Amino acid sequence: MLEAYGSAIAYLFGNPSSFLLIIFSVVWGIAFGSVPGLTGIVGVALLIPFTFVFDPTAGLLLLSGVYVGSTFGGSISAILFNTPGSPEAACTALDGYPMAKKGQAGKALGIALASSAIGGIFGTIVLMLLAPPMAQFALNFGPPEYFALAVLGITAISAIGGGSVLKGLVAGLLGLGIATVGLDPITGTERYTFGNLSLLTGISFVPAIIGTFALAEVLQRAGERTSTADVITDVSTKLPSMKEFLATRYTLLRSSSIGAFIGALPGVGATTAAFISYSEAVRWSKRPQDFGTGVAEGIAAPESANNSAVGGSMIPLLALGIPGSATTAVMLGGLTIHGIIPGPLLMETNTQLVYTVFIGMFIANILMLVFGIRAARYFALVLKAPYALVGPAIVVLCMTGVYALNSNIVDVGVMLAMGAFGFLLRKLKYPIASFVIGLVLGPIAERSLRQGLVISDYDYWDFVSRPITAVLLIASLVSLIYGFYGQWKRHQDAQAAKMAAG
């Protein structure tokens, strides 16, 4: 292993241009991530033709750097404009934007950046040290375990939102319901398309997220009476103080671990990791009712998890040749073009390639800190511009990004509809966080539940009695009840306080 790292370091120093490649890829990734609609997948896919001119190692360095950068980049626009630049960052907007609105844009960006780097480095270390055993362990996760994991994330909606519990549940169910539109994942039949074939794609996640967050925000801002008084003024990117940051250390550790593990599960990626770790942060918090109002944990959790998931999703790719996420699937295609056959033998036959990528990802995460601060500063300048120009520009960017992503005008329509819907939900105080969690985790829950039932021949007992599944499901149930109890208790306390005051 030491020898392998030796050859990797020798490669990097033998090809100084590879450092330039990493720099370029991280910057490209951050830029791509921050434009709404343009996801890391597109960023990686567009660079694949360029990897032809490099050797495979350089090519993979380039692609993994983009992956690292884009996962962070999305959080910049999520925090500054409530416009998640990439789906991975949707969760970051939940607390990042409220914090920025409170005049602490610098702090929010700083937490996001530092958490991203810590999560990213954590994920890379897990990848370096534990790739083969993690990949083997992840294989124990069949559909019942995926289902239980999704349920665990979904039940957190009982603890989210300081307002009405019932509204939180309805918002979550709305998300779950909307996610069922389109082709059925098991039978392939049409659901809720009402004969309209263009709805077969269903409500794609990226347009839905951009609609509910960004468009709803523009509408909201358009309605506000004073447009200039509410401008976010503090736009410097000072990192949060050590004390502020250390306060989130347990969240960081928990979220990074969740991220690395969920990333290692094939078929679920950084977005799911971000939401599940957000759910867990809410669940483990002493003050769950504050989430959504701009708390540090609410940014640290998703950002460390989604960047940690980047390293995690490289695990099945490099250890088994199975891509852990959509972006790594594109990378796998890129490797194939170079004549490298991804599979369990890759780590033995292409040692130098694999270990160079490990080191490269490490460096990319550190560079992300350096360039992230710069990128955030440039972006933050936009906050000084009048909203009369910025607001419409955000609409245009969202429309263009969503259209260019898939050339599908229906996606743009979906985005508009979800924008109006998100605006309505906000106005009526239905928590957006619950809605989005339902939207993200619903398809995983449904698909894996039904896959598991087909495999177990519709034996529900067989399904729930698997050890990991059972533990996760019991935990979900306990937390569901505890969540309700906590909300009920806070409600009672508030009533009592009101009585005492009145």
213 closest CA partner among 441, 43, 435:
435
The binder of other proteins chosen from 176, 273, 315, 439 (CB under 8 A): 176
17 or 140, CB closer to other proteins? 140
Contact assessment for residue 256 and residue 416, using Cβ atoms and an 8 Å cutoff: no
**Which residues are bridge partners to 182 per DSSP?**
191
Give residue 120's identity as a one-letter amino acid code.
G
Give residue 253's identity as a one-letter amino acid code.
L
The footprint of other proteins on residues 446-465 (CB under 8 A) is 446, 449-451, 453-455, 458
Task: Sketch the per residue contact string, 31 through 60, with other proteins: x for CB under 8 A, - otherwise.
Answer: -------x--xx-xxx-xx-----------
Per rule CB under 8 A, is residue 342 in the interface with other proteins? yes
128 or 416, CB closer to other proteins? 416
Gap between the Cα atoms of 369 and 464, Å rounded: 43
Task: Sketch the per residue contact string, 274 through 313, with other proteins: x for CB under 8 A, - otherwise.
Answer: ----------------------------------------
Contact assessment for residue 300 and residue 79, using Cβ atoms and an 8 Å cutoff: no
Per rule CB under 8 A, is residue 502 in the interface with other proteins? no
Instruction: Give the tokens for residue 174.
Output: 């709305």
What's the closest the beta carbon of residue 32 comes to other proteins, in angstroms?
9
Per rule CB under 8 A, is residue 333 in the interface with other proteins? yes
CA dihedral (68, 71, 72, 74) in degrees, to 10, reads 150
Per rule CB under 8 A, is residue 351 in the interface with other proteins? no
**DSSP line for 65-90:** HHHHHHHHHHHHHHHHHS--SSGGGH
What's the closest the beta carbon of residue 121 comes to other proteins, in angstroms?
25
Q: Select from 8-16, 19-27, 343-351, 363-371 the region that touches other proteins (CB under 8 A).
A: 343-351
29 or 294, CB closer to other proteins? 29
111 or 179, CB closer to other proteins? 179
The binder of other proteins chosen from 207, 311, 419, 422 (CB under 8 A): 419
**Which residues are bridge partners to 183 per DSSP?**
190
228 or 243, CB closer to other proteins? 228
Secondary structure element (H or E) that encloses residue 183, with its range:
strand 182-183
The footprint of other proteins on residues 81-140 (CB under 8 A) is 138-140
278 closest CA partner among 297, 263, 250, 257:
297
